[in-house]
Amino acid sequence: MNTEATLDQLQQLKLHGMAMAYEAILQMPMDKHPTAHELAALLSLRETEERQRRRTQLYLRLSKLRYAATLPEIKCSEARNITQDQVNLLMDGSFIKKASNILISGATGCGKSFLACAIGHQACQLGYKPLYINLNRMIEMIALAKMDGTFIKMLNRLERYHLVILDDFGLQPLTATVRLALLQILEDRYAKRSTIIVSQLPVSKWHEYLGDQTLADAILDRLMAHATQFNLKGKSMRKAS
């Protein structure tokens, strides 16, 4: 049996996980080699793990998450108004399966964006595609899409993401055009995809921020119908670091 040829074939077939596992087995003493059934199971497992790893890395790169954060890194305390049980409920991504939303509010520096990015990171590990974008960038995207006639294409692209994280909500006044576009984005995602909104403004102030009563009612109705809220508190974590 030509083991080098087998390794080459596995690489040519892009079965990189299998190739690494097979090569590791070849370094073991003969009496430690697995049986045929054990070998098949091991190679299959390693290939699955490698594909999941590469998929996660791809989704992380495309997500453009602001922070390389993970849920185990979230500091839970009564002072921060977030518990470990709340964080644990995010681990399995069930809110994405249910197309539920998450609303995160709190003062500047309290870890809102870090929490949102940690949720996005977990989504990548679970095989979901997230996209992080702040409000200023979204306003620019909407303006450009309206100008060059690609607005529908932009809506379709956003709808394909399992999770959209909109950060810095409330920092910049919204024009009528942006309010309408935001309503359309949320309408497309309603009951189908999840959205995370991150804001320094308390949720109770969002209606006032949106301005137009009719549009504000429609936007908040789509956001809050199936939503979990996190109102983070405490001192700025930036100062602490």
Residues 7 and 27 in one domain: yes
159-218 per-position pLDDT tens digit: 999 999 999 999 999 999 999 999 999 999 999 999 999 999 999 999 999 988 999 999
Q: What is the pLDDT of residue 41?
A: 86
Average pLDDT over all residues of the chain: 91
pLDDT confidence bin for 43, thresholds 50/70/90: confident
- Of 141, 121, 123, 125, give the one whose Cα is nearest residue 133: 141
Indicate whether 144 pLDDT > 90. Answer: yes
Residue 118 corresponds to which amino acid? A
- Overall average pLDDT of the 40-49 stretch: 84
Q: What is the pLDDT of residue 199?
A: 97
The backbone torsions φ and ψ at residue 131, rounded to the nearest 5 degrees and listed phi first, read -140, 125
Whether residue 142 contacts residue 91, with contact meaning beta carbons closer than 8 Å, is answered with: no
Residues 68 and 7 in one domain: no
The Cα–Cα gap between 53 and 47 comes to: 10
Of the residues 62, 82, 103, which one is the last residue of a structural domain?
Answer: 62
Residues 18 and 136 in one domain: no
Of the residues 46, 62, 78, which one is the last residue of a structural domain?
Answer: 62
Residues 34 and 79 in one domain: no
The percentage of residues in the chain with a pLDDT greater than 90, rounded to a whole number, is 71
Q: Residue 132 maps to which CATH number?
A: 3.40.50.300
Q: What is the pLDDT of residue 37?
A: 84
Residues 101 and 115 in one domain: yes
Residues 187 and 215 in one domain: yes
Q: What is the pLDDT of residue 50?
A: 84
Residues 116 and 80 in one domain: yes
What is the DSSP pairing of strand 194-199 with strand 101-105? parallel
Residues 54 and 99 in one domain: no
Residue-number span of the structural domain to which 11 is assigned:
3-62
Residues 124 and 231 in one domain: yes
User: How many structural domains is the chain composed of?
Assistant: 2
pLDDT confidence bin for 239, thresholds 50/70/90: low
Residues 175 and 135 in one domain: yes
66-109 per-position pLDDT tens digit: 999 999 999 999 999 999 999 999 999 999 999 999 999 999 98
The answer for residues whose C-beta is within 8 angstroms of residue 65's C-beta and 6 or more apart is 117, 120, 121, 130, 132, 165
Q: What is the pLDDT of residue 238?
A: 62
pLDDT confidence bin for 1, thresholds 50/70/90: low
Q: What is the pLDDT of residue 149?
A: 95
Residues 80 and 158 in one domain: yes
DSSP secondary structure, the chain, as one string: --HHHHHHHHHHTT-HHHHHHHHHHHTS-GGGPPPHHHHHHHHHHHHHHHHHHHHHHHHHHHHT-SS---GGG---BTTTTB-HHHHHTTTT-HHHHTT-EEEEE-STTSSHHHHHHHHHHHHHHTT--EEEEEHHHHHHHHHHHHHHT-HHHHHHHHHH-SEEEEEEETSS---HHHHHHHHHHHHHHTTTSEEEEEESS-GGGHHHHH--HHHHHHHHHHHHTTEEEEE--SS-HHHH-
pLDDT confidence bin for 231, thresholds 50/70/90: very high
Q: What is the pLDDT of residue 27?
A: 83
Indicate whether 240 pLDDT > 60. Answer: no
Of the residues 62, 90, 111, which one is the last residue of a structural domain?
Answer: 62
Residues 49 and 74 in one domain: no
Least confident of 7-21, 114-128, 168-182, 215-229: 7-21
Q: What is the pLDDT of residue 131?
A: 98
